[in-house]
Structure 1
Amino acid sequence: MAAASRHEIRKSRKTAIFGTLAGGLMRLWCSTLRYEIVDRCKLGVPDGISGPVIYALWHNRLFSVPAAWKRLCGKHRGAAVLTSASHDGDVLSRAMSAFGIGAVRGSSSRRAIAALVGLKRSLEEGVDVCLTPDGPRGPRYKLQGGLVKLAQATGTPVVPVHVEVSSCWRLKSWDRFIIPKPFSRVRVIFDEALAVPAKLSDDAFEAERARIESILLAATHDPEPATPAP
């Protein structure tokens, strides 16, 4: 039973209600923000970038991105976000549905293989997927290798997503989650797509992981440094 519980998708009526309410609140909150959306890879152009992409952004930047994505390309692109199999993951998946974004349940610590299969299936169906490669538990601003493996296995380009906020609150969580203050300025950059080679040696894989991490870090204007690896 213990082994089974580690692999089950956790959800409840309480998390469903809370997630739905959270999604509605996020939409209302984000409607007050003054967005500037920079589309470097032409996602917002119907005849722009072809095929699905993998969005990569830091876990603590997630709050502002669904509304920006919906404004930019929600009318002609589908998307799904990877959430954990925990109750918190159920809340997040329900909240994302308020923006027309689906969810694949799983993480590096629970249902990892099932999550990878679900992500691959979404990409095969032409749906973009969104990963927070330092989640679900950190360290903050340290890109884990799963994103690179998914891009390798599917031949899907990676689109780094950067978020700049003029004024915000920060939660006392492992990632110091950022919530923009109402009516603040939020700049969301969908950066140029990155191709990941299908075959990489161990050293080349680490170099590719570090390359994507450095691109995300270069646009992360944060007075709080990355969390040191344990």
Structure 2
Amino acid sequence: MSLRKRLEKSETLAGVLGTLAGWYLTFCYRTTTWKDDGLEDIEAALGEGPVLLVLWHSRLMMVGYHWPVHHGTMSSLHDTSPIGRVTGAMLRRNGLLPIKMSRKKSNLAASRSVLKQAKAGVSIGITGDGPLGPALILKDAPLDWARTTGIPIFCYAFSTTKGRRLQSWDQMLVPKPFGKGAYVFRRLNYTISRKASEAEITALRTAVQDSLTEVTHQADALAGLPPGP
């Protein structure tokens, strides 16, 4: 049986690989000199209640280390693919609350769990274009949850001078040790009602997608790098 098939079937194996990946990313985090932009803003917002954190899938790897967990935990969605299972294990290791969602089946149960967590005061994290892309194209889930929960939206990205791009659909950025890095949290100053019109939802989609691109480019700029996906 291939490693991929084993990962799809074994929570234990995913947990072991998640732990190993977590050790590596912890080493990268501790040996990187980080700049932050917007950390105080999200900490202040968390003092008032949960938030919805949205990011591009390519900038996923370090969110568990940059999230201000002492100001509130976050429930994050991951799919059941091998990398999704490993990612879920890594997030759990950082004190977050991952929720599995299927790439093929209805995710009604996962959505109900998300809404339940938000009502309990837990923030929600989701990749805007995951789990399978297309890259940098915002899907409906962040918009639906923004509309139904009414909680503030924050966009996040990180960048580092020491990293490599995977040959994946999103060109995922994987950090290396001893770099200079940056991460950005930015609040989206946009509110939407539960009964929003199609025009309002379209406007929100544009606003979120533009903000995600802006924070990604901002993180790259703070790290002294040209903009990337």
Bucket of the pairwise TM-score, normalised by the shorter protein: 0.7 to 0.9
Alignment of 1:41-60 (within 5 A): 42-45=41-44, 49-60=47-58
Where do 4+ consecutive residues of structure 1 move more than 6 Å?
A: 222-226
Query: The residue matched to 1:149 in structure 2 has which SS?
Result: helix
Alpha-carbon separation, structure 2, partners of 1:185 and 1:79: 26
CA deviation string 1:121-153 (max 9, x = no partner): 111111111110100001111111110100101
1:220 aligned residue = 216
1:63 aligned residue = 61
Unaligned 5+ runs, structure 1: 1-8
Are the aligned partners of 1:11 and 1:87 in contact in 2 as well (CA < 8 Å)? Answer: no
Is residue 2:203 matched to residue 1:207?
yes
Are the aligned partners of 1:85 and 1:110 in contact in 2 as well (CA < 8 Å)? Answer: no
Are the aligned partners of 2:188 and 2:208 in contact in 1 as well (CA < 8 Å)? Answer: no
2:25 aligned residue = 26
Q: 2:73 aligns with which of 73, 78, 87?
A: 78
Alpha-carbon separation, structure 2, partners of 1:129 and 1:101: 10
**In structure 2, what residue type is equivalent to 1:20?**
T
CA deviation string 1:54-79 (max 9, x = no partner): 1011101011221111xxx2123111
What percent identity do the matched residue pairs reach? Answer: 27
Q: 2:157 aligns with which of 157, 162, 168?
A: 162
Query: The residue matched to 2:139 in structure 1 has which SS?
Result: coil
**In structure 1, what residue type is equivalent to 2:214?**
A
Unaligned 5+ runs, structure 2: 1-7, 221-225
**Superposed displacement of residue 193, structure 1:** 4.1
Alpha-carbon separation, structure 2, partners of 1:48 and 1:118: 20
Alpha-carbon separation, structure 1, partners of 2:84 and 2:46: 32
**In structure 2, what residue type is equivalent to 1:14?**
L
**Residue 224 and residue 50 in structure 1: after superposition, are their counterparts in 2 closer, same or farther (change >3 A)?**
closer
Are the aligned partners of 1:11 and 1:90 in contact in 2 as well (CA < 8 Å)? Answer: no
Alpha-carbon separation, structure 2, partners of 1:102 and 1:50: 20
Alpha-carbon separation, structure 2, partners of 1:23 and 1:119: 24
**In structure 1, what residue type is equivalent to 2:70?**
K
Alignment of 1:1-230 (within 5 A): 11-39=10-38, 42-45=41-44, 49-69=47-67, 73-107=68-102, 109-198=104-193, 199-221=195-217
Alpha-carbon separation, structure 2, partners of 1:132 and 1:158: 13
Are the aligned partners of 1:52 and 1:123 in contact in 2 as well (CA < 8 Å)? Answer: yes
**In structure 1, what residue type is equivalent to 2:206?**
A
Query: The residue matched to 1:75 in structure 2 has which SS?
Result: helix
Deviates more, 1:124-133 or 1:89-98: 89-98
**Superposed displacement of residue 95, structure 1:** 0.9
Alpha-carbon separation, structure 2, partners of 1:12 and 1:162: 28
Alpha-carbon separation, structure 2, partners of 1:110 and 1:27: 33
Q: RMSD across aligned C-alpha pairs, in angstroms?
A: 2.3
With normalisation by structure 2, the TM-score equals 0.84
**Superposed displacement of residue 171, structure 1:** 0.5
Are the aligned partners of 2:128 and 2:137 in contact in 1 as well (CA < 8 Å)? Answer: yes
CA deviation string 1:176-217 (max 9, x = no partner): 010123111111111124443122211221121111101111
